[in-house]
A and B are shown apart, each in its own frame.
Chain A
């Protein structure tokens, strides 16, 4: 193993230079790995934002059109008006009574209804795995003071999702974890039962078995869930049929849904499924995770830009610099060994044998750089995971079914009608990135060796030996 002995001894002789070259390559490669890991983490966070809105397995969401303002001259039922003696509650027949001490409950839908027969039509489309209908509502209560000493007005609201209890694999409950009680079953389709979000249960002092009154119907709490993502999940989930039966403003949703959750047969089919649904249901809003991704703003988007633009170019620049330094140092080392190579040529070594020796030395430095670089990349990813703040994704309420506020109302994070989801950043180093890192580092070493090899190939032994003499 003369080749290995010569290689090993030569690297040991110029250990400092070899370490320097390997470190340079490691730095470039480490940066590539870290940026790729951060990018992957941000993508995962973006996906987490979307999953928080649509749930696991939901590829496409169809929502009804946003209800427009009433037409000129159209009779609109106003449940509350200001009468001569103060606020009054009015019935649909037009008779009004004093609102003092009374509570007005208004169930609002953000989206117009879609006939629930359309859900089955969507499910039958080509490349659709499954489809389920849902209703998203906001229940606002206003209680008027009964006397001059009591507060004139107090309000509360809760968000409500009607879910298809026969198909919970997609939709808002698909990401939830059950923490007490039990989930819906198909038998609950027509039952007055509810599953509540853990945050709402705590704030409203609800537990399994509690009774919750919504739109004058008593629902028994059968389960309490926690959503996987720290988004703004609805407070209460009830069977779809019960949601359809509610008195909804501006119009009833009987036999209708206002959201259809769709799962495609494969990721490659999502685009085709989206097109089919748009043709089948014109006038609705059809969004997929990828179309929603472009509407997500907030720190998750900034982080994505940082990783993809600045991070990518920084990694490329550092890699180029590392390659250049490695090449220069290797050529300098070859220049110092001109007499050695001239002697070897003189005693009968072919150029390619000498080149193989130099390339072997370069490759060892490249492999060392790769190993160090992957280690640095892992360390970089770990540092990012430790110090990076939680990211937030802000989506306009009009583009997702889990609206936390009615359209036009103030949002918690991003402005009017917006919906904020917080997701952690978990950078991840994949096997593909490790392979890329190794290839880059070895390529860098070989590139450096190639420049030096070119020099060796052009070396005339007589010239090389005359320099020593």
Chain B
């Protein structure tokens, strides 16, 4: 479970100080799917970075399962990400020189998983995203949708408890977008993941259990109805 209390993140832009996130309070329950919407530059990605331990708040606390991420050392944060948090990026962020299987393997390297177990986990992850037959292909040999599937497999292979997806369909066409969201939704349901998904697309956001809207660094929670799953909870701000 995530608990954010009074979280503010300030950035210096020249002489100006900009609040990317301002006084944010948020609770995300285990297994919840939260969509985060908002215009560009209003703090969506900053929120995701704070949830993923990629950044530290200027004020306030970000707790994951009772642990204040802001008090962890860099190596501890890195370890937490390696074990518990999977990332899916808009631009896929695959290593161009590695095959699909090797890209998925990058997520297991920090965990020092034995080679045999690694191989079976990789195969299983690629199979779950429907790319078992593309294991040896390089990113340049795959379509955008396939590359994003590999990125999802990379995020899932370590059996995380949280998936943070930043505009996962932003670079994809409409049909592929639906495929990817459908895949994420299926995996969320099957594995009971906590899924935080940033998107511009309202139709995608409405598939989540709750929708949070970021406006000038401030968060407003809306209840979603299209998911077919009752909202777990949330705090109306």
Interface of A is mostly: helix
Known contacts A13-B96, A468-B93; decide if A348 and B78 are in contact (CB<8 Å): yes
Judged by a CB distance under 8 angstroms, whether B102 is at the interface is: yes
Known contacts A348-B81, A349-B78; decide if A6 and B98 are in contact (CB<8 Å): yes
Q: Mark A1-41, 1 if CB is under 8 A from B, else 0.
A: 01001100110110000000000000000000000000000
Complex-state Cα separation, A344 to B106, whole angstroms: 8
Residues 344-366 of A contacting B (Cβ, < 8 Å) = 344-351, 353
B22-30, B48-56, B141-149 - interface stretch: B48-56
Count of chain B residues with a beta carbon within 8 Å of a chain A beta carbon: 34
A348 touches B45 (CB 8 A): no
- Chain A residues contacting B109 (CB-CB under 8 Å) are 2, 349, 353
Residue of B nearest to A12 (CB): B97
B106 touches A469 (CB 8 A): no
Judged by a CB distance under 8 angstroms, whether A340 is at the interface is: yes
Complex-state Cα separation, A461 to B51, whole angstroms: 13
Judged by a CB distance under 8 angstroms, whether B89 is at the interface is: yes
Judged by a CB distance under 8 angstroms, whether A465 is at the interface is: yes
Residues 109-146 of B contacting A (Cβ, < 8 Å) = 109-111
Question: Which of B49, B79, B102 lies in contact with A5, CB distance below 8 A?
Answer: B102
Judged by a CB distance under 8 angstroms, whether B105 is at the interface is: yes
Judged by a CB distance under 8 angstroms, whether B75 is at the interface is: yes
Complex-state Cα separation, A253 to B171, whole angstroms: 105
B105 touches A346 (CB 8 A): no
Residues 35-65 of B contacting A (Cβ, < 8 Å) = 45, 49, 52, 54-55
A346 touches B97 (CB 8 A): no
Judged by a CB distance under 8 angstroms, whether B223 is at the interface is: no
Judged by a CB distance under 8 angstroms, whether A272 is at the interface is: no
Judged by a CB distance under 8 angstroms, whether A285 is at the interface is: no
A2 touches B78 (CB 8 A): no
B87 touches A346 (CB 8 A): yes
Using a CB–CB distance below 8 Å, which chain A residues touch chain B?
A: 2, 5-6, 9-10, 12-13, 339-340, 343-351, 353, 460-462, 465-466, 468-469
Report 12 cross-chain contacts, Cβ distance below 8 Å, ordered by A residue: A5-B98, A6-B97, A6-B98, A340-B96, A344-B106, A345-B78, A347-B81, A348-B78, A349-B110, A460-B55, A461-B54, A465-B89
